[in-house]
Structure 1
Amino acid sequence: MAQGTRVATSAQTPLAQNLVLSARGRSLLKRLEGIRLRPYDDQTGVAITQWVAGATIGVGHLIDQSEWSRFSSGISQQEAETLLAHDVAPYEREIRKVVTRSLSQSEFDALVIFAFNIGRRAFSGSSVVRLLNNPKASTGYPSLESAWKAWNKSQGKVMQGLNNRRAAEWKLFDKGVYQ
């Protein structure tokens, strides 16, 4: 079987129309993102007491400046869970919209986790999506795996944390291993 192609099985659903992030996928996303109940700067990880671009709380929730007063003094664990459910839903919908092939639950979970990290617009226009939908698509990457793992930079610098995250996401996508 060619790299990046899969034979439909009973574990897959046509075009992922009914899939949502599983409990195991949510757990992995929380491990990869971390859970912070006080605001912090996403780029530096440093706790903050006033809004900055990149202000984050919970499980990777970017705080809009208009939301600062709501989140400035922190949130509870339950509020972090509620925010995560709200924040993940648009990524689930985006994957169901742009991916045109069947996906297993673990593949869908990996894509949600990946897209959540890189952003919906970046995901939708990525070589990853093009290669998912057409393994023979012309991209600058020899395989879906290499296109996926190329998302390893922050502010132009290769980050070991992103290398590790991409490896975990790919292991989930390719092997169905939630680690």
Structure 2
Amino acid sequence: MGYGYLIRNASEFEEYKNGISVTQADSLFRKVLVMYENAVKKFVKVNLTQSQFDALTILCYNIGIGNDSRGFGGSTVVKIINGESTGNLDSAWKAWNKSQGSVSSGLMKRRETELKIYYKADYTRL
């Protein structure tokens, strides 16, 4: 709901079951976005440009913070950026293209858009 926020428990469901306004969605997004920004700051050990930070924050928001291979913190993307792995960044980034075990064309487009932000500071959608 809102901007992709996942309701995590029954009390949140009760709070939001009748929907939310744009103002509430904006407020909720700003509140949770800080968690993802802080995760990028925690896990990425190299200096980033603003667009690189933005792209990584978007990726983290979409795949989750986790510090194992199922989330941003343990991802090959982070390892490559930190110089802890010699893989291909584009391939590692684009590997996050599955929903419920199947490749999603929507997620493939999303990853391409994030990479445009990362490399070119181009914030336009594909």
TM-score by length of 1: 0.65
Tell me which of 52, 70, 77 is aligned to 2:22: 77
Q: How many residues align?
A: 119
Sequence identity percentage: 45
Higher strand share: 1
Residue 125 of structure 2 is aligned to residue 156 of structure 1: no
Q: Which amino acid aligns with 1:85?
A: R
Match of 2:75 in 1: 126
Q: Which amino acid aligns with 2:5?
A: H
Deviation at 1:66, TM superposition (A): 2.1
Alpha-carbon distance in 2 for matches of 1:162, 1:61:
16
Match of 1:6 in 2: none
Deviation at 1:153, TM superposition (A): 0.4
Alpha-carbon distance in 2 for matches of 1:137, 1:178:
27
What stretches of structure 1 move > 2 A for 4+ residues in a row? none
Alpha-carbon distance in 2 for matches of 1:153, 1:75:
28
TM-score by length of 2: 0.91
- Structure-to-structure mapping, 1:8-47, within 5 angstroms: none
Deviation at 1:155, TM superposition (A): 1.1
Report the 3-state secondary structure (helix = DSSP H, G, I; strand = E; otherwise coil) of the residue aligned with 1:58. Answer: coil
Higher helix share: 2
Alpha-carbon distance in 2 for matches of 1:109, 1:131:
17
Alpha-carbon distance in 1 for matches of 2:41, 2:54:
12
Report the 3-state secondary structure (helix = DSSP H, G, I; strand = E; otherwise coil) of the residue aligned with 1:61. Answer: coil
Report the 3-state secondary structure (helix = DSSP H, G, I; strand = E; otherwise coil) of the residue aligned with 2:72. Answer: helix
Alpha-carbon distance in 2 for matches of 1:131, 1:88:
24
Alpha-carbon distance in 2 for matches of 1:128, 1:175:
17
Alpha-carbon distance in 2 for matches of 1:100, 1:150:
22
Q: Which has the higher contact order (CA 8 A, sep 6+)?
A: 1
Match of 2:2 in 1: 58
Alpha-carbon distance in 1 for matches of 2:45, 2:12:
35
Alpha-carbon distance in 1 for matches of 2:16, 2:78:
34
Alpha-carbon distance in 2 for matches of 1:89, 1:95:
10
Deviation at 1:102, TM superposition (A): 0.6
**Where do 5+ consecutive residues of structure 2 fail to align?**
none
Q: Provide the aligned C-alpha RMSD in A.
A: 1.0
Alpha-carbon distance in 2 for matches of 1:155, 1:63:
18
